[in-house]
Amino acid sequence: MSENQKCPVSTDLTQNIEEMEFYFHDCADIKKKQMKLGRNQDTACYLTFIEVSVDMGTSALGETLKYLNGLTRDEILCTLQENALGISDATYFPTIEEAVSGLLTGEAILFVDGFDRAVKIPDDGYPNMGITEVDSEKVIRGSNEGFCDSVKQNAALIRKRIRSPRVKVRGLKAGIRSNTNVYLVYVEDLANPGLVKEIEKRLQDFTIDGILDSGMLEQLAEKKWYSPFPQFQTTQRPDRAAMAVLEGRVIVMCDNSPIGLILPTDYNSFIRTSDDYYSRFEIATFGRILRYLASFFAMTLPGFYLAVTNFHTQILPTTLLLSFAEARQGVPFPAVVEVLIMELSFELLREAGVRLPGAMGNTIGIVGGLIIGQAAVEANLVSPIVVIVISFTALCSFAIPNEEFATAFRILKFFFIGICAWLGYFGMLLGLLAVLTHLSHLTSFGIPYLMPFVGADLNNYEDERDFIWRQPFRKLRKRPIYANPKERTKLTFSKKR
């Protein structure tokens, strides 16, 4: 039988075994058991599953086989025909190809002689890490649960927080060889009409062998792939995902990946954190102001230092200028080379800290930075002020909540270093103009990236209530622009209040 043809499940068990062997020959991890079931041991069966994904003991599979073993042959066929196994997730496949796909989901497939369908019986499934604490997106207040590698468990974590039948989980397949499960999670009446269809279209616009992580989906589905700014927001937090779903956004989750994609998104969404809504508005606003300043300085501070010291020293107080000059005495390199040496050193330390395991990575990041900075100053390779500037820049990049968003500023930092070393303060203004122009043209599924810097009138200026200054929670009564226009109200009070 050709692999491209559909082959129906036969009542002849031997033929079914031959068809399954066509797909799974030379597969040592696929267990294939021929057995006899029934009270009189007169019903031939064929059970196949992936090793370590099935428990033959007290699982649903074990209980099902025990139940069938107490029936006569006619009773077994009648039970299967009427779907009377009593297992909610038991699935019947009329073709061999569907049975193969069912087996590759990590479940057991049972063929019974005389029955013209294969039965998928749920079991443990593929091994995974399970639900763990979130590594990134740390918060002071809120849940510490994080997504795991199983897309089904991740969807359940969102349902755990939004217990409504209007929460929809739409399943897709990605990768013609990997057949990776992809879930779209959204609230039916809150998601904007057409958004889910547009996302599905984007995910089906390409053909690829395999999808192994949500990051591959992100890169293939975004329109302006050349932009350093991410057009999909990532999260490992189920509470953040649930919050986004209640705003009318859609979560895209990929099997084998603990990272969910939130879309549409904008600049302001990357600055916000989960505990901005769990804490009082004063501290939330203060935190956001710090993060906005951090995103600006993480991109521009080294370039601004070069522009001032190389071209515009007149804007510095005389005492500070003399202090800078004294600190640079004996340094053989120009200021731009100093900055590049320290920036590349810190980026190298950051990369080494990520790759090294556990506590060793944290140690190399902190101790290595101190040792290299101190040694470079003592060797007169760089001046102390440069070490301070680069350290403060790194600190600002760490203050940005989303790692992918922070990476954009780390890349643009080198652009500003180059243009400021060339044109000074004028170059810095040109660089800012170029970045703002790019951001003003950037959209995420129709939403302006600079919302609500621009386009605030599209939602009657309601999004400005949850901007740099987060208004008191009782005043956040409208959903943001992502939501269906007919379902914008999210908070009401009784007349007594």
pLDDT tens sequence across 240-256: 999 999 999 999 999 99
Mean pLDDT of 319-329: 84
Between CA 407 and CA 405 the distance in angstroms is 5
Collapse the DSSP code of 162 into the 3-class scheme (helix H, G, I; strand E, B; otherwise coil) and give the result: coil
User: For the chain, which residues make up each domain, given as ranges?
Assistant: 13-121, 151-265, 281-448
How high is the pLDDT of residue 2? 44
Collapse the DSSP code of 344 into the 3-class scheme (helix H, G, I; strand E, B; otherwise coil) and give the result: helix
Residue 101: Cβ within 10 Å count: 15
Q: With cut-offs at 50, 70 and 90, classify the pLDDT of residue 42.
A: confident
Q: Considering only the C-alpha atoms of the chain, give the largest distance between any 2 of them, rounded to a whole number of Å.
A: 102
Peptide bond into 122 cis (omega under 30): no
Q: pTM score, two decimals?
A: 0.86
Higher-pLDDT residue of 482 and 368 is: 482
How high does pLDDT run on average in the chain? 88
**Structure tokens that stand for 129 in this block:** 């890490």
The residue type found at 27 is C
Q: What angle do CA 454, 455, 458 make, to 5 degrees?
A: 160
pLDDT tens sequence across 338-390: 999 999 988 888 888 777 766 666 666 666 776 777 888 888 888 889 989 99
Q: Given a cut of 80, is residue 26 above it in pLDDT?
A: yes
The residue type found at 358 is G
Between CA 482 and CA 459 the distance in angstroms is 9
Q: Look at the block and give the residue holding tokens 């309601």.
A: 462
How high is the pLDDT of residue 4? 54
Between CA 272 and CA 386 the distance in angstroms is 31
Is residue 274 within 8 A of residue 137, CB to CB? The reply is: yes
Q: Which of 83-92, 137-146, 175-184 has the lowest mean pLDDT?
A: 83-92
Higher-pLDDT residue of 263 and 351 is: 263
For the sheet with 180-187, list strands across it: 167-174, 180-187, 250-254, 260-263, 233-235
Percent of the chain past pLDDT 90, that is, above it, reads: 49
How high is the pLDDT of residue 320? 85
How high is the pLDDT of residue 57? 59
Q: Which of 3-7, 90-94, 323-327, 402-406 has the lowest mean pLDDT?
A: 3-7
The residues, ordered by sequence, that sit 6+ positions from 168 with a Cβ below 8 Å of its Cβ are 184, 185, 186, 187, 188
Is residue 81 within 8 A of residue 69, CB to CB? The reply is: no
Mean pLDDT of 457-477: 88
pLDDT tens sequence across 381-440: 888 899 899 989 999 999 999 999 999 999 999 999 999 999 999 999 999 999 999 999
Between CA 52 and CA 221 the distance in angstroms is 34
Percent of the chain past pLDDT 70, that is, above it, reads: 93
How high is the pLDDT of residue 112? 92
Q: Given a cut of 80, is residue 275 above it in pLDDT?
A: yes
CB hemisphere CA count around 127 (13 angstroms): 4
Q: Look at the block and give the residue holding tokens 């086989």.
A: 65
